[in-house]
Amino acid sequence: MTVYHETLKRVNAGEAVSRPSPPVNVSIQCDNYGVEVRWEYPDLSQDVHFFVEVQDHDKRKNSTTPNLNLNISSMLVPSPTNVYYVIVTAVRGGQKSDSCESKIFSFNEQATADIKCYLDFPEVELSPKDGKLHIQFINPLELYRNTPALRNLNNQDDLEYTVKTKERVNNTTCDAKAKTCETSIEFSEHIRVSQNYCVDLTGKIEWGRKLNLRRSCFKGDIRIYTSFTVYLYPVLGVVLSLLFITGIIMLLVTKINSEIKKRSIAAFPKLLDFKPTQTHLCEPLRLHPDAVTTDLHIEPKEQTTFKEMYSDEELNSRDKYVGSKDSNSESPYRDNDLDEADQSDSEEGYDCPHRPQAHCLEMSPGDMVKGYGP
């Protein structure tokens, strides 16, 4: 009996030595894209691995790893309650250690859990618009669609978010199908003068999924200043309108004048017909040579002699006056000269035989003129 008891004690002592130590300090790290469980082990020199089991009420999933951490995002069963805890056990050979459990965690803010997992609010873009501060960010329902926190949602779950400033709190909703969410918020003149605008944003999705607080600030002037184009565009509009109206009026006037002219021509067709009645007057002038009689006969003009112009008495007195000159000598006056003088006198209407007594006077030797007197 003594030998048997000693042998039994030795077997129990070997089994106690061969059983691995349990892990300690199991913790949960949850972020936007998943959940990771971590733990500690006192002696890593031992050839051990760890058995990890995720439990959601009555559902369990497990996995094995030699590391001191494991991403359990794919092991989380989609559930509206989203309440989980993790059990970690060390295994060496066929021996298991005592289990170590984590605290209960959940993505549901309303659930009874020790650890609440929240999603980070997306990056926010701030800009001035219409005298307000314009807020824009990516829709978290689009950004975190495939994460453990949101992969069991449907398209009817909208985002409700809050924009808080020093002066007011604005609550608004972003549609689940929208790619981006945006809104605008006003500020008082006092804050506008400082030109420093800060907003705090938080959000919530169906089934109590909450977004962490994000604070964003914008420094600059968001006030509206009248632009030159505000006056330019109305002026251009008025000018173009006037030009358009003027063009229409000109077209109407042209059309009315054309109609009046057509009616006038229809009312007085013959009065306005200016066709020439004597068409031969419009023919070009043609020159025809006149028939000229080449058989012309010019009669010489009768010439009046000196004797015919003067009476016998006048001739006798002339002969006496001449005196010493030879009657046979040639007269200083040629017949032609007398004829010309006679011709000029006759043209003036005077007839020598009817004149008062004419005397031939010698003004100089050989120069004789006619004189009238008693």
The Cα–Cα gap between 37 and 54 comes to 10
**Nearest-angstrom CA–CA distance, 183 and 137:** 10
The pLDDT, as a whole number, for residue 262 is 79
Q: Which residue has the higher pLDDT, 21 or 272?
A: 21
Nearest alpha-carbon partner for 64 in 83, 84, 92, 42: 92
Confidence band (pLDDT; 50, 70, 90) for 350? very low
Q: Rounded distance, CA 6 to CA 4, Å?
A: 5
Helix, coil or strand: residue 81: coil
Q: Which amino acid is at 269?
A: P
Q: What percent of the chain stands above pLDDT 90?
A: 36
**Identity of the residue numbered 160:** E
Specify the long-range contacts of residues 175-179, CB closer than 8 Å, at least 24 apart.
176/139, 176/141, 178/139, 178/142, 179/138, 179/139, 179/142
pLDDT band at 146 (very low <50, low <70, confident <90, very high): confident
Q: Are 361 and 371 in contact (CB under 8 A)?
A: yes
Of 205, 214, 87, 76, give the one whose Cα is nearest residue 147. 76
What is the structure's pLDDT at 62?
Answer: 93
DSSP lists the bridge partners of residue 53 as 62, 87
CA 275 to chain centre: 58
Mean pLDDT along residues 123-133: 93
* Neighbour-count burial of 189, counting CB atoms closer than 10 A to its CB (0-12 exposed, 13-18 middle, 19+ buried): exposed
pLDDT digits over 238-270, tens only?
A: 999 999 999 999 998 998 888 888 777 776 655
Residue 292 sits at φ, ψ, to 5 deg, of -105, 130
| pLDDT, average across residues 191-196 | 83
Whose structure tokens read 């030998």? 3
Encode pLDDT of 292-331 as tens digits. Answer: 555 555 555 555 555 555 556 655 665 555 554 444 444 4
What pLDDT, on the 0 to 100 scale, is given for residue 215? 95
| Distance, CA of 303 to CA of 336 (rounded, Å) | 9
Backbone angles phi, psi at 333, to 5 degrees: -100, 130
CA distance 62 to 186: 52
For the chain, percent helix, then strand, then coil, each to nearest 5? 30, 30, 40
Both tokens of 107, joined, read 């993505």
Measured torsion, CA atoms of residues 171, 176, 180, 185, in degrees rounded to the nearest 10: -10
| pLDDT exceeds 70 at position 88 | yes
Whole-number Å distance between alpha carbons of 270 and 15: 141
One-letter amino acid of 226: T
